[in-house]
A = this chain, B = another copy of it.
């Protein structure tokens, strides 16, 4: 007996749930949990099915392909930890939070390596017995730096890259290597305060709530599909630095909840949005 997750996405039509669950039933699979969603604007159907049983993967997928309409995609995922590479700059809190959550079993990730454009966080990675690759951007063009990053990252064959306060903007060329597979934590409640120094911007605007946004990276800065957002109350007594400090917990929470969704195969990307089932 094994547990797997079936993800289905296709144009909506009547009877889809019945068809898919019937096929599962014919395969003698038990549905532990089933969630689905139809986007009322685009008419796209999404379904996530937690299954339990003995899987004849080939036949099952064949049966599904026969039943599903054209333009469908489906995948049958094993419950195994995703392999990730974490990219960082100098700030320890997001990396540290991920490391501790993996360590204490709260987050099921296989961290292959940490890559930084500064040396500061090497010691932290090493405390958790992880390789740390220091790839300075000093003296390199953006293209050269990204080539150097890819050279280090590619051999690990990661499922996802996690930008845990990696303070460099990635080019579309780099992003294209990992489409919808790069998770960034932006330190504002997007779309407020796009770009640099969001806490300084928030301070100057006099907001009463600060936020953080975990999102997939696409070609446009801070415009990728949002996975999770979290907020915290602030007041007039917070300096920009106080907001930054208060923001750390918010950033950690948004990023680790987004990663949790990903580890559970709950995230579909649909245009510039996410559907989380």
Q: List 6 A-B contacts (CB under 8 A).
A: A18-B18, A18-B24, A91-B104, A96-B104, A190-B207, A236-B270
Q: Tell me, in angstroms, the Cα distance from A17 to B6 when the chains sit together.
A: 15
Chain A at the B interface: SS class? mixed
Q: Is A25 an interface residue (CB 8 A)?
A: yes
Q: Are B30 and A22 in contact (CB under 8 A)?
A: no
Stretch at the interface among A109-117, A152-160, A179-187, A222-230: A222-230
Residues of chain A from 143 to 168 with CB closer than 8 A to chain B in the complex: none
The number of chain A residues touching the other chain, given as a range, is 35 or more
Q: Tell me, in angstroms, the Cα distance from A190 to B207 when the chains sit together.
A: 8
Q: Are A272 and B229 in contact (CB under 8 A)?
A: no
Residues of B within 8 A of A64 (CB): none
Most buried by B among A24, A25, A37: A25
* Nearest 4 CB-CB pairings of A with B: A206-B273, A92-B104, A18-B21, A192-B192
Q: Are B103 and A124 in contact (CB under 8 A)?
A: yes
Q: Are A226 and B208 in contact (CB under 8 A)?
A: yes
Residues of B within 8 A of A249 (CB): 253
Q: Of the candidates B14, B35, B37, B248, which one forms a contact with A25 in the assembled complex, judged by CB atoms under 8 Å apart?
A: B14
Q: Are A237 and B93 in contact (CB under 8 A)?
A: no
Residues of chain A from 17 to 74 with CB closer than 8 A to chain B in the complex: 17-19, 21-22, 24-25, 28, 30-32, 34-40
Residues of B within 8 A of A209 (CB): 189, 211, 229-231
Which residue of the partner chain B has the closest CB to A209?
Answer: B229
Residues of B within 8 A of A193 (CB): 191
Q: Tell me, in angstroms, the Cα distance from A100 to B237 when the chains sit together.
A: 26
Minimum CB–CB distance from A118 to chain B (whole Å) comes to: 15
Residues of B within 8 A of A192 (CB): 189-192
Q: Tell me, in angstroms, the Cα distance from A51 to B208 when the chains sit together.
A: 27
Q: Are B248 and A106 in contact (CB under 8 A)?
A: yes
